[in-house]
Structure formats: structure tokens, C-alpha cells
Amino acid sequence: MSENKSPAVIRLTEARAEHTAQMMKINDITAAIARSKKEREAAIENGKEAETSWRTRFRSLRGNLTDELRAQHSQRIVSRELAEEFTGLIEELEFEHEGEMIKAVHTGHAYVNAHNAAFTQYVEGQWEAAMRNLSPTLVRAVRLKLLSLRLNDRGRHTDPQHVEPEAILAREVGKALAEKAEAARLDMDAEPVVSEIGVYRPALTGVDMKLYNSPCSIHVRLQERKMKLEKQQKESQA
């Protein structure tokens, strides 16, 4: 339940939901663009067929406009206008898609940052707890190892590459623990918090990564969109 979650995990949950909702918007627009392009192509092809058929019939009847010819003439005009309408619609949808993608870049950054904060905070808490409860056996062994290193310390005042016993100990303990950690496997069934947060950076599938990695490009796009909207507004008022 949310009352048992840390503020960082709650924020991650919210950021994940916000980004998911944003990507659903983009997916809907993408599907609408693909559908509109398909319909436009169909309208163009139908218009071509109607145009060819009408001209052939028109000439064969030597300009005698029968009801059938009038109907075919209307159909080819409808197909042409329909294709033009889809062209306009596609342009509007692509403009909308660009705007929503810019929003997705922002929600993507928020999602990644929230994940990083939640995971780091949880891990640091676990680390501090583990450090407070180190095995006495391990602490004893480390203490004895340190005493041994100090006993065998040589060249403190003569060797320019002399390494302090504490540094040697830290390196050896760190290496041993790192090797153990690398070989260890997390039982995710016993890690509800880690499972909810996720151990890997969120995959921002569908996000324009060129925009994501370039704040400058975002700024340029926003300026271009602003200019386009202002131009459209002036044209509508003219």
C-alpha cells in the first residue's frame, strides 16, 4: 500500500504512470497518422481510377453527360478533395505528434530521474543497515588482517611507491566483496521493493532519443513551433 512506500518510490510510481500515459497519447496519434496516410493513398488511387474511367467514357460518348457520367464526375472530385483533406489532417497530426513527443521527453527524464532517486535511496538505506550489522567474524578477520599488514609494513620512509596498510586492506576487502557481489543473484521474489523499482534504467521505448539527449534541439523545436502557431494565427485573422 502507498502508506508503506517511501516518498521516492511513490514519486517513481507517479512518474512511471505519467510517462506511460504520455506514450499512449503518442501511440494513438501515430496510429491515426498511419491510418490517414493509408486512407489518403486509397483516395488518390480511387481518384486516378475514376479520372481515367471518366475521361474514357466522356470521350466515347462524345461529351454526352449522362447521369452515370455526372455521378462519376462527382466521385472523382470527392476522391480528390478527400485526399486533400487527409493531407491537411496528416500535417496537423504530425504537428501534434511533435508536441506530444516533446512532452514525452520531459516525462521520460522525470521517469528516469525518479527511478534513479528511488533506487539509490533504497540501496543506500540497505547499505547503511548492513554496515551497522556487520558480522563480528568478518570484523575480527579484517582487524587481524590489518594488524598483519601493519606488522609486515616495509619501506614507509624509503619506498616512493609505498602503500599504507589501510589502503591495501581496503583494496583486498573491496575486491573480495565485489567478486562475491558479482557472482550473487538477487531472489526477486524476496525483493518486493527492488522488484517494484526495477534494477535497470527504464527503457524509454518510442521516445525520440535525439531530442532526449539534446536540450538544444528541444529549444529549437519549441521556437519553430511557436513561430508556426503565430503565423497560423495571423493567417486566420487576415
**What DSSP assignment string belongs to 10-66?**
HHHHHHHHHHHHHHHHHHHHHHHHHHHHHHHHHHHHHHHHHHHHHHHHHHHTTT---
Q: Please tell me the predicted confidence (pLDDT) of residue 189.
A: 92
Confidence of residue 159 (pLDDT cuts 50, 70, 90): confident
Mean pLDDT across the chain, nearest whole number?
Answer: 90
Percent of all residues in the chain with a pLDDT value above 70, rounded to a whole number: 90
pLDDT surpassing 90 at residue 94: yes
Q: Is 97 in a helix, a strand, or coil?
A: helix
pLDDT digit string, tens, across residues 148-158: 999 999 878 78
pLDDT digit string, tens, across residues 204-230: 999 999 999 999 999 999 999 999 998
CA atoms of 71 and 69, how far apart (whole Å): 5
* pTM listed for this prediction: 0.81
Task: Tell me if 212 sits within 8 A of 105, measured CB to CB.
Answer: yes
Q: Please tell me the predicted confidence (pLDDT) of residue 149.
A: 95
CA atoms of 131 and 125, how far apart (whole Å): 10
Calculate ∠ Cα 82-88-94, nearest 5°: 130
Q: Which of 77-86, 126-135, 212-221 has the lowest mean pLDDT?
A: 77-86
The gap from C-alpha 95 to its chain's centroid, in whole angstroms, comes to 19
Task: Tell me if 108 sits within 8 A of 19, measured CB to CB.
Answer: yes
**Sequence ranges of the domains in the chain:** 1-133, 134-185, 208-238
Q: Which of 224, 19, 32 is nearest to 104 (CA)?
A: 19
1-133 topology per CATH: Helix Hairpins (1.10.287)
Residues 165-190: what's their mean pLDDT? 94
Confidence of residue 147 (pLDDT cuts 50, 70, 90): very high
Residues 21-49: what's their mean pLDDT? 92
